[in-house]
Amino acid sequence: MALPSSTPLLPASPHPSPSPKPTLLPPRLSSVRLQPRLSLSRRRRCLRFLERPAERRRSGRRLWCCCSSSGSSYEVGGAYPDEELDPQDRLGATQEGNQKVDSAQYEALLKGGEQVTSVLQEMITLLEDMKMDEASEKVAVELAAQGVIGKRVDEMEPGFMMALDYMIQLAERDQDDERKSLLEVIKETVLAHLTKKCPPHVQVIGLLCRTPQKESRHELLRRVAAGGGAFKGENGTKVHIPGANLNEIANQADDLLETMETRDVVPDRKLLARLVLIREEARNMMGGGILDERNDRGFSTLPESEVNFLTKIVALKPGKTVQEMIKNVMEGKDEGADNSPEENSGEKVSGGITGRASLSGRRPLPVRPGMFLETVTKVLGGIYSGNVSGITAQHLEWVHQKTLQVLQEIAF
């Protein structure tokens, strides 16, 4: 079983968010790759970089992520490039003709940047006292990050993660892999410390997001449901798995999905696909499977976009053509394409079911992976409860299975 050996990267923090509607910031679930030597010139470049983007930081954008639990919420600041902003925010910025952030946000960004600078300086001081070769550099950098972050994590500025994300974006733009790798080590270390403050089911979601193999995720869920414990990973390291309730895991993943899918623009399709897989697999392992009564979200009506698309593919014979249609929509194309701000600001009345005018008069959201599978499950439940299962039920089961296969390809 290929269990992850590192701490999950699901961002969480007890700092309150100034945003009235927190949205999810997807973690970048990539491995850290460091260059062979941490040379003196590299250290100087890191410090020069921290002073250079002071003017450019003014165009930084605000985004807050949220991992909510039954009794509390954990939030941490983050940032997205302009093209991934919520269209409403982007439209407002265009109308103003200026992309400046408000004074409070700018102040938080500067304070966070100063703290990142301080962390880097302290890390470099520690690394200068170490004698490293090429093989030990990666471990030395991670140890330095653990030591510096460990004593500061409880006093992190609310803008720390926002500034860190912005600096990583600048490093990517400048194609400076050395600088980016050092900043990513800091980010992973901070997220690892913050994750420990999360409830067990949130930690499990972080572990599952880092487990690409379906069989390994199922094994992980079985051990979580059995109470967790310490297990040996594939590389011989011990992995501590918390015990959690499958229903809480599925509900938490569903809450995160709802936060992402109700936006006009989905910021991270990979994370979205992973959360859908986690929700569906956790539900499938519960007593009643995907039709378990605990999975009923109490919808009195089904979403227009998903019903329209489901009606379209059910009318076609199962096969490669339908599978390609599902794949395109799950990737954000065709019926799943994000709404643009121009479309949202227009007065066009949306089309409802089978092309009729929408009763609400509002443009519906595009087809979203989580809501689409929710619709398929709801329709299946109605078919099975009426004892009329037949070719339609088999077709829907096939659609459900193929959708999960497509999401597995997108997620990992």
Give the tens place of pLDDT for each residue, 126-165.
888 777 777 777 788 888 888 888 888 888 888 888 888 8
Helix 246-261 × helix 200-209 angle, to 10°: 70
Kindly report the length of the chain.
412
Cα separation of 183 and 273, whole Å?
Answer: 26
Percent residues over pLDDT 90 in the chain: 24
Sign of dihedral through CA atoms 333, 412, 393, 391?
A: positive
User: How confident is residue 275, by pLDDT bands cut at 50, 70 and 90?
Assistant: very high
Domain ranges within the chain, ordered by starting residue: 40-198, 296-411
> Which phi and psi (to 5°) does residue 285 adopt?
-85, -10
The pLDDT of residue 295: 58
Q: Which residues of 237-248 are buried (b: 16+ CB within 10 A; e: fewer)?
A: eebebbebbbbb
The pLDDT of residue 62: 34
Percent residues over pLDDT 70 in the chain: 64
Give the tens place of pLDDT for each residue, 166-183.
888 888 899 888 888 888
Cα separation of 334 and 399, whole Å?
Answer: 17
The pLDDT of residue 162: 85
Give the tens place of pLDDT for each residue, 238-265.
778 889 999 999 999 999 999 999 888 8
pLDDT of residue 21 exceeding 70: no
Residue 14, strand partner residues: 75
Task: Give DSSP secondary structure letters for 163-206.
Answer: HHHHHHHHHHHTT-HHHHHHHHHHHHHHHHHHHTTS-HHHHHHH
**Average pLDDT of every residue of the chain:** 72
For residue 137, with 0-12 CB atoms within 10 Å meaning exposed, 13-18 middle and 19 or more buried, which class applies? middle
Question: What is the pLDDT averaged over residues 72-95?
Answer: 41
The pLDDT of residue 362: 62
User: How confident is residue 233, by pLDDT bands cut at 50, 70 and 90?
Assistant: low
CB atoms within 10 A of CB 78: 23
| Contact criterion met (CB below 8 Å) for 375 and 383 | no
- Helix residue ranges, H only, 245-389: 246-261, 269-284, 304-314, 320-330, 341-345, 369-385
Cα separation of 56 and 115, whole Å?
Answer: 17
Cα separation of 412 and 410, whole Å?
Answer: 6
